[in-house]
């Protein structure tokens, strides 16, 4: 199903250039994935936090734009729980917590699959603001 989030993501050159894939986006929820490549690893040999943030932020943007009006971030924060590693296939899941007026709050969990099950890499909370009544 195509909605405003899919249209927005298709035009997102930054996210697409990094290989982020939008798996699903509907009704305030979104899932996106990204593989950690050699160019995403920092001087400590782990995933640069900016790339993990970017995946979470992209997934948040997709979730808050599923409703149709153009919606942007008004703020966000992230807690890094575990280091991402070269080759990790990260999965970000965004969930709408609440919308009130033109504002919203969304939580995004970024995890990787391991033989023992999912391992959380980061937790992200985004605050959104609707800036237009209808998407383009």
pLDDT of 132 reads 76
pLDDT of 136 reads 46
pLDDT of 133 reads 63
Question: Each residue of 48-59: b (16+ CB within 10 Å) or e?
Answer: beebbbbbbbbb
pLDDT of 135 reads 42
- Can you give the pTM of this predicted structure? 0.93
Q: Which domain holds residue 89?
A: 4-130
pLDDT of 3 reads 83
Q: What is the CATH number of the domain that holds 115?
A: 3.10.129.10
Q: What is the mean pLDDT of each run of 10 residues along the chain (136 residues)?
A: 85 95 96 97 96 98 93 97 96 97 97 94 97 62
121 in a structural domain: yes
* The total number of structural domains that make up the chain: 1
136 in a structural domain: no
């Amino acid at each position: 199903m195509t909605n405003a989030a899919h249209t927005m993501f298709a035009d997102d050159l930054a996210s697409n250039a990094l290989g982020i894939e939008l798996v699903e986006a509907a009704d305030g929820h979104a899932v996106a994935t990204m593989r950690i490549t050699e160019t995403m690893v920092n001087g400590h040999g782990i995933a640069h936090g900016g790339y993990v943030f970017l995946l979470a932020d992209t997934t948040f943007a997709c979730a808050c734009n599923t409703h149709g009006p153009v919606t942007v971030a008004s703020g966000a924060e992230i807690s890094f729980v575990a280091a991402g590693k070269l080759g990790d296939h990260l999965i970000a899941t965004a969930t709408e917590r609440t919308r009130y007026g033109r504002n919203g709050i969304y939580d995004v969990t970024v995890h990787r699959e391991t033989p023992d099950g999912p391992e959380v890499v980061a937790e992200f909370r985004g605050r959104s603001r609707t800036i237009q009544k209808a998407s383009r």
